[in-house]
Amino acid sequence: MTRAAWTLVLALTGLVSSSAAQGVLVAPHAVVIEHRTRSASITLYNPGSEPAEVSIATFFGYPVTDSTGDFELATPASPGTLPSAAGWIEAYPRRTVIGPLERQTVRLLARTPAGLPDGEYWTRIMITATGGRAPVVIDSAPAGIQVGLNLEVRTIIPLQYRKGPVATGAQIDRPRVTRVGDSLVVRARMVRQGNAAFVGTVRGTLVDAANRTVASFAVPLAVYTEIDPRFPLSVAGLPAGRYRLVLELAAERADLPPDQILKASAASADVDVILP
């Protein structure tokens, strides 16, 4: 098991304090580079009390959903026909040491290949921070024996490179609803349109026979190719009867600057729901 994996396991089991397992903070948490500038920057901040050794790398990846509807990151060994920028985005510096409570600016430069066609290209920026030694609490350890763990924490953010005309959109196909306990599990296939990833928010609204909203959810997401996510929606306390679930995809995100979001027409779909 790698050091990063051990860090994750120990943090989840409570053996490493959350403050010790914290890496550097990264801003912004998504990057867009336009072809006319071919550059951007990210800021790294070390909130810890010890220096952090940081390395920056790129790899190709994009969000997908598994068979249960959970999100995961697909990282194919070869992008095939998908538009990868991983081979020509460079970070300066690629390695650095950030002191306690210090900041470091990292420049991201695009060395685009000659004759690059118009469109949007994708990569992931991986920021790996190592440094510090976290104490590991083991109740059965003999007296006088101390165990420590060298920490490695990775932060991964998306980068989109846009050249020439780009357009996006998404459609919703086959919404399905399943009752599980006092909740509905909502699933719907979402397919990207255009030549750029759709970044936005999906909203679900459950309305009763009088068209009154009785339950809702709003979840940020991105559709790079197609996804089939699931969303839980509590219906505890609702009376039996006929309802209607309306799903809407909108190119809006509260957590991203408006100039990073490509405009797109809203998409919607609905399905009847009967609560016994």
Q: How large is the average pLDDT for residues 257-275?
A: 95
Q: Check which CATH number belongs to the domain holding 96 and give it.
A: 2.60.40.10
The amino acid at residue 259 is: D
With tokens 């408006």, the residue in question is: 258
pLDDT score, position 138: 54
Strands 31-34, 148-163: pairing kind: parallel
Q: In terms of Cα–Cα distance, which of 159, 160, 251, 120 is closest to 198?
A: 251
Cα 249 to Cα 168: distance, rounded to the nearest angstrom: 12
Location of structure tokens 């928010």: 201
Q: Report the pLDDT averaged over residues 78-90.
A: 96
pLDDT digits (tens, 9 = 90+) for 29-57: 999 999 999 999 999 999 988 999 999 99
Same domain, 134 and 175: no
141 and 178 share a domain? no
Same domain, 91 and 228: no
Last residue of one domain, picked from the residues 138, 163, 188: 163
Number of domains in the chain: 2
pLDDT tens digits, one per residue of 70-80: 999 999 999 99
Is the same domain home to 134 and 206?
A: no
Task: Identify the domain containing residue 25 by its residue range.
Answer: 3-163
Q: Are residues 116 and 235 in the same domain?
A: no
3-state secondary structure 9-31: HHHHCCCCCCCCCCCCEEECCCE
Is the same domain home to 269 and 195?
yes
- In which residue are the tokens 């890496």 written? 23
143 pLDDT tier (thresholds 50, 70, 90)? low
Among candidate residues 109, 134, 163, the one where a domain is terminated: 163
* Sheet with 89-92, side-by-side order of all strands: 25-27, 39-45, 103-110, 89-92
Give, as one character, the DSSP assignment of residue 84.
Answer: B
**pLDDT (0 to 100) of residue 131:** 77
Q: 19 and 87: one domain?
A: yes
In 60-113, beta strands by DSSP E: 62-65, 71-74, 89-92, 95-98, 103-110
CB 216 within 8 A of CB 244: no
The three-state secondary structure class of 213 is: strand
Please give the average per-residue pLDDT across 186-205, as a whole number: 97
